């Protein structure tokens, strides 16, 4: 087994005995411990998933074709891989994705499925279906000098105000998105062995401090001729957030649906959801960024 | 008589403040709906004891509108809340 390393993930200090190639190593006093144990074959030889939930603070998720995850008390995660030569990046992705979001639920922090960008000292979360173009627009924001707060999973803290917590300085990106930016993927950063998606380092463009939530952007491909941005009514906005809540099935299994509903409604009492529609099969990402800068970011600036 | 009916909030309905409006989740079914400020006031008055007439009287005290208008609003919202299955009539 590897020696211990320390990382900052979701504003928590994490001690891990598996190398997390999505963040920089930095010494700290651990809040969370991640332990990967010796591999053991799964009890069932298929791709099914089994849950064992003994209260909020004792959760086991056994993904039979990957690993068994035990998540406890918002401060401990144990992982038993089910293959001897497991695809490490896949396990790391699950650790800092679904498993970490579950651990955050134990800390009373809910997450939204979307990336967050920092602009004018506020966080803007971008949600959308797979293929809507979230990582492209996030990349374009980074190229335009904005900082990334989180990729794919935006955790919201309600401690003082509504804050988006910085996750870790890496983006997950499709190879064809990278092609558009003429960057070539690093083979060692392939996330799944059978999918053309890679980690892309965003260390130099990462915002390390929590930022107050400024708004939510719902990106969708639609029948429009030009990129369009409209503010949604609250009831529509609620529907969008409920659809894009992260690990919905886990929230339900843990009996936290009512709590999540209150939180999302609370979020929408403070910020709006904007529908960003982009024409099908056109490369309009620069225009998307221009419209958001003009209509959304400027507005926040004027409010401050 | 319509105004003598008494309603009660159903169990398992989680209300949540949504700006000026009120969102309600049926925790079992996952269905939810949103009502405006007036609807919210009607919802808050429903307690399994006051009948519709008394609800109207309560709201007339707080609102600066004629009772006929309030009466109309209340019956609209009660119907809406009943259809959304977040309140039910108390059978006596």
Contact B16 A266 (CB under 8 A): yes
Residues of B in contact with A243 (CB under 8 A): none
Chain B residue with Cα closest to A272? B19
pLDDT at A180: 80
Average pLDDT of chain A? 93
A162 touches chain B (CB under 8 A): no
Residue A261 to residue B23, Cβ atoms within 8 A: yes
How distant is the Cα of A258 from the closest Cα of chain B, in angstroms?
Answer: 6
Percent of chain A at pLDDT exceeding 90: 82
What is the rounded average pLDDT for all residues in chain B? 90
What is the Cα gyration radius of chain A?
19
What beta strand segments (E) does chain A contain? 5-9, 12-16, 32-36, 49-53, 58-63, 67-72, 76-81, 110-119, 122-127, 147-150, 153-157, 163-164, 170-174, 197-201, 211-222, 228-231, 273-279
Q: What is the ipTM of this complex?
A: 0.86
Q: Which string of b and e fits A208-238 if b means at least 16 CB within 10 Å?
A: eebbbbbbbbbbebeeeeebeeeebebbebb
CB contact under 8 A, B16 and A235: no
Q: Is the pLDDT of residue A144 over 90?
A: yes
pLDDT band per the 50, 70, 90 thresholds, residue B38: confident
A256 in contact with B, Cβ within 8 Å: no
Position A179 scores a pLDDT of 84
What pLDDT, on the 0 to 100 scale, is given for residue B37? Answer: 87
Residue the block writes with tokens 């309905």:
B13
pLDDT at A301 exceeding the cut of 80: no
* A72 close to B (CB below 8 A): no
Interchain proximity B33–A238, CB inside 8 Å: no
- Residue B6, chain A, CB below 8 Å: the answer is no
Give the sign of the dihedral formed by CA A144, CA A148, CA A153, CA A155.
negative
Q: What pLDDT score was predicted for residue B67?
A: 81
Chain B within 8 Å of A176 (Cβ-Cβ)? no
Determine the average pLDDT of the residues in A92-96.
95
Quick check: A303 pLDDT over 70? no
Instruction: Answer whether A238 sits within 8 Å of B18, measured CB to CB.
Output: yes
Instruction: Give the pLDDT mean for B37-55.
Output: 92
Ramachandran assignment for A271, one of left (phi > 0), alpha (psi -120 to 50 degrees), beta (any other): beta
| 3-state secondary structure at position A214 | strand
**pLDDT in the model for residue A1:** 55
Q: Which residues in chain B have Cβ-Cβ distances shorter than 8 Å to A238?
A: 18, 23, 32, 34
Predicted pLDDT of residue A220:
96
The answer to whether B76 contacts chain A (CB < 8 Å) is no
Residue of A nearest to B27 (CA): A258
B30 part of contact set with chain A, CB < 8 Å: yes
Residues A158-198 pLDDT 10s: 987 999 999 999 999 988 888 887 788 888 899 988 889 99
A17 touches chain B (CB under 8 A): no
Instruction: Find, in chain A, the residue whose alpha carbon is nearest to that of B19.
Output: A269
pLDDT 10s digits, A252-293: 999 999 999 999 999 999 999 999 999 998 889 999 999 999
Q: Is B84 on the interface with A (CB under 8 A)?
A: no
pLDDT per position as a tens digit, A200-217: 999 999 999 999 999 999
- Residue located via tokens 């200090």: A13
Residue B1 confidence class, pLDDT cut points 50, 70, 90: low
B21/A234 CB distance under 8 A: yes
């Amino acid at each position: 087994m590897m020696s211990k390393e320390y990382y900052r993930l979701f504003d928590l200090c994490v001690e891990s005995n598996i190398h997390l190639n999505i963040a920089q190593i930095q010494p700290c006093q651990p809040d969370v411990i991640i332990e990967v144990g010796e591999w053991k074959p799964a009890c069932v030889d298929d791709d099914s998933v089994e849950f064992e939930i003994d209260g909020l603070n004792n959760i086991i998720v056994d993904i039979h074709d990957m690993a068994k995850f035990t998540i406890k008390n918002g401060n401990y995660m144990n992982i038993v891989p089910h293959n001897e030569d497991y695809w490490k990046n896949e396990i790391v992705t699950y650790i800092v994705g679904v498993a970490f979001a579950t651990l955050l639920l134990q800390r009373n922090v809910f997450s939204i499925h979307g990336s967050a960008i920092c602009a004018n000292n506020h966080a803007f979360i971008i949600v959308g279906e797979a293929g809507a173009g979230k990582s492209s627009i996030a990349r374009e924001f980074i190229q335009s000098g904005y900082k990334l707060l989180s990729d794919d999973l935006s955790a919201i803290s309600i401690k003082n105000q509504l804050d988006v917590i910085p996750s870790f300085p890496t983006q997950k990106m499709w190879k064809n998105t990278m092609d558009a930016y003429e960057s070539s993927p690093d083979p060692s950063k392939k996330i799944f062995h059978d999918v053309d998606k890679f980690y892309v380092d965003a260390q130099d463009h990462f915002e390390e401090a929590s930022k107050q939530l400024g708004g939510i952007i719902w990106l969708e491909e639609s029948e429009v001729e030009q990129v369009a941005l409209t503010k949604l009514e609250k009831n529509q906005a609620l529907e969008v957030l409920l659809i894009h809540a992260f690990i919905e099935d886990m929230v339900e299994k843990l009996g936290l649906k009512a709590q999540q509903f209150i939180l999302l409604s609370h979020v929408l009492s403070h910020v709006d959801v904007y529908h960003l529609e982009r024409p099908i099969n056109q490369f309009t990402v620069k225009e998307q960024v221009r419209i958001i800068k003009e209509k959304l970011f400027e507005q926040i600036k004027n409010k401050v | 008589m319509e105004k003598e009916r008494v309603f009660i909030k159903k169990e398992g309905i989680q209300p949540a403040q949504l700006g000026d409006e009120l969102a309600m989740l049926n925790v079992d079914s996952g269905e939810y709906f949103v009502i405006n400020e007036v609807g919210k006031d009607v919802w808050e008055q429903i307690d399994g004891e006051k009948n519709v007439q008394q609800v109207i009287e309560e709201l007339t005290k707080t609102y600066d509108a004629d009772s006929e208008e309030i009466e109309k609003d209340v019956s609209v919202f009660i119907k809406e809340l009943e259809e959304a299955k977040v309140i039910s009539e108390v059978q006596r």
